[in-house]
Amino acid sequence: MKPRLAWLGFALAFLALVPAATAANLVSGLSQDQIEITSNYTGTDLVVFGAIESRGGESADSPRDVVVVVRGPDIDMNIRKKERVAGLWINRHEVTLFGMPGYYYLASSRPLGQIASPDVLARYQIGLSYLQAARYSSASPKEDRVYTEAAVREETKAKLYAAAEDGVEFLSYSLFRVRVPVPAGVPRGQYTAEVYLFQNGNVVSAQSTPLFVDQIGLERRLYGFAHRSPWVYGISVVLLALLLGWISSLVFQRR
């Protein structure tokens, strides 16, 4: 009886290991891990590339999809709702969204609705429709959703949020790449490039790589000075403008 139990236990352990052994593995990387912002920066493209390592037992016809999400540093957004009062449109209500991504770009191998269920997409916040703030200043979940959708619309207009449901380019059965636009108005800070591998509607592998967007040289010093001492920076700019105006007036008087 004991040998049968031993064989049964061995068989159960082997079956438990089979899914992990047959699942595909994901390897990804970035064309650059730091983007330097200068005074003449007008935007650039970042390339996310990777490969799917197939393991034993996986057929070439196994359905699999790749989703790439690039998220910017978290910021707080104040969203105001206008209402008509006595014929005038004024801001009557405001909700603060804490911890929203300052930049969000998604690329997938096909439409998200064909890749996974809404529950899975919401769990990983994959897709503009499933973005959520870390917390809200209001206490109404329905109101939170309305203000989040408004924030997503505004960021999309500013080209800081975007989604390309055919943005993953497969170079072969295993190799893929994604071109991610990084416009000039992106916030500075640490970003993350997240790559998800889906099979049969589930995430079977994922990888996250950090990315840094920062200013260099004189622009960096001015940016840091403006954020460390905003009042001193503002007064300095006004005084510099007055000085330049006075100097230009002297030059034109001599002419």
| CATH number of the domain encompassing residue 112 | 2.60.40.3880
Crossing angle of helices 230-254 and 217-228, in 10° steps, is 120
Amino acid identity of residue 22, one-letter, is T
Range 62-81 average pLDDT: 89
Q: How far is CA 211 from CA 45, 108, 128, 167, in A?
A: 13, 20, 21, 20
Instruction: Tell me which residue range forms the domain holding 33.
Output: 22-215
pLDDT of 195 > 60? The answer is yes
Over residues 210-222, mean pLDDT: 74
pLDDT band per the 50, 70, 90 thresholds, residue 156: very high
Q: What is the count of structural domains for the chain?
A: 2
Q: Is residue 140 part of a domain?
A: yes
User: What is the structure's pLDDT at 73?
Assistant: 93
- Short-list 130, 122, 134, 143, CA closest to 104: 130
135 and 249 together in one domain: no
Q: Is residue 156 in some structural domain? A: yes
pLDDT band at 39 (very low <50, low <70, confident <90, very high): confident
Q: How confident is the model at residue 37 (pLDDT cuts 50, 70, 90)?
A: confident
- What confidence category does residue 24 fall into, taking pLDDT thresholds of 50, 70 and 90? confident
Q: Are residues 134 and 229 in the same domain?
A: no
Do 190 and 220 lie in one domain? The reply is: no
